[in-house]
Amino acid sequence: MTSMPSIPRRRCVMSLAGAAAVLAAPAWVKAQTPIVVKFSHVVAEKTPKGQGSLKFKELAEKKLAGKVQVQVFPSSQLFGDAKEMEALLLGDVHLIAPSLSKFDRYTKKVQLFDLPFLFDDIAAVDHFQSSAPGQDLLKSMTSRGLLGLAYWHNGMKQLSTNRDKLERPEDVKGLKFRIQASDVLEAQFRALGANPQKMAFAEVYQALQSGVVDGQENTWSNIYSQKFHEVQKTIAETNHGVIDYMVVTNAKWWDGLPADVRKGLSEAMAEATAYANKMAGDFNEDDKKKIEAAGKARVQKLTKADVAAWRKAMEPVWKKFEGDIGRDLIDAALKSNK
Ligand code: LMR
């Protein structure tokens, strides 16, 4: 008796998988149960963003029990700075929360937040973000496929170097600084006569330790959780700018979600935002104390005259970017200072 030649089992499985791939809808439309929501970010868990993303997971999975599963990937584990936006647009991740400095390839408007000494404190930043012009910025990148769901706070930036003296702008002349991928920040360090270098967050510790760069700017929370204070000599309390986040999603994926899921995720986001923002101040305050107690880097307090000197040195940046950002937006932001 002759029998049909048998198709090797592996080939059979592969061709079925191939057929399924051809028939499959794009990732953001495909009905999965539960819907997997991947949230990737670059900082440690014990930070405002780390805790905010975990709170979002807890709330979303409670509100949408059985319907969604939220997977949080901290510390650039899934995607770092260089890849996360691209991955979001490709549908490989669904939520990311880059610092506001990292959007300048998508919109010039959000560069507003990088203007040095624009906001007096986080209360002013919060006030502006809640205003109509601030809320409009969340939707300013939809034509590029990115939809902002919320702002999350981290805090004000401090400046650190591997030098003993760090009081006035002349103390950083000629030094190399790691910066986030922002043209405004690049101009800021050039205005100081320093050499800025754009670099992903995950690479900063090593670059500071090995002397590839001499310094950096960041919040107390990021400095402490990344141990930058262990490889820097002085941290000047400049408060010269802000590091806050925009939680963004892929607009197409978001619009393709079932309405009840989108509603539940929006509610979870609103509650997680309030939670993250409430704890951001405490994180920065506590981490500053821990840095002082560790006694590795010295914290340099600045006088009013010192701060005025930094402000004056960084002033040219405003003129350079006013056209791109828009004077109306700058004025709206300035109104948020008391
Ligand atoms: C940085 O790259 O320095 C920070 O923006 C990282 C972060 O997400 O807080």
Give whole-number Cα distances, 188 to 112, 213, 261, 317, 318, in Å: 13, 16, 42, 6, 9
For residue 41, the CA-to-ligand 1 centroid distance in Å is: 9
Instruction: Confirm whether 18 is domain-assigned.
Output: no
Centroid of chain to Cα 179:
13
Domain-located, residue 4: no
Domain ranges, residue 118: 31-335
Which of 47, 99, 185 to mutate for ligand 1's pocket (most ligand atoms within 8 Å of CB)? 99
Question: 255 vs 72, 139, 143, 146, 271, CA distance in Å?
Answer: 21, 13, 14, 11, 21
Q: 311: domain CATH number?
A: 3.40.190.170
- CB 99 near ligand 1, within 6 Å: yes
Domain-located, residue 11: no
The H helix count followed by the E strand count for the chain is: 13, 11
Is the CB–ligand 1 distance for residue 180 below 6 Å? yes
Residue 290 falls inside a structural domain: yes
Cβ of 154 below 6 Å from ligand 1? yes
Closest atom of ligand 1 to CA, residue 97? 8
Q: In degrees rounded to 5, what are phi and psi of residue 122? A: -70, -30
Instruction: Specify if 248 maps to a domain.
Output: yes
Is residue 1 in a domain?
no
Contact predicate 96/41, CB 8 Å:
yes
| Ligand 1 atom at minimum distance from 98 CA | 8
Taking CA atoms only, the protein residue closest to ligand 1 atom 5 is 99
216: in domain: yes
100 close to ligand 1 (CB < 6 Angstrom): no
- pLDDT tens track, the chain, 338 positions: 334 444 344 443 444 444 444 344 455 545 668 999 999 999 999 999 999 999 999 999 999 999 999 999 999 999 999 899 999 999 999 999 999 999 999 999 999 999 999 999 999 999 999 999 999 999 999 999 999 999 999 999 999 999 999 999 999 999 999 999 999 999 999 999 999 999 999 999 999 999 999 999 999 999 999 999 999 999 999 999 999 999 999 999 999 999 999 999 999 999 999 999 999 999 999 999 999 999 999 999 999 999 999 999 999 999 999 999 999 999 999 999 98
Tally the domains of the chain. Answer: 1
Distance 280 CA to ligand 1 centre (A): 14
Domain contains 116: yes
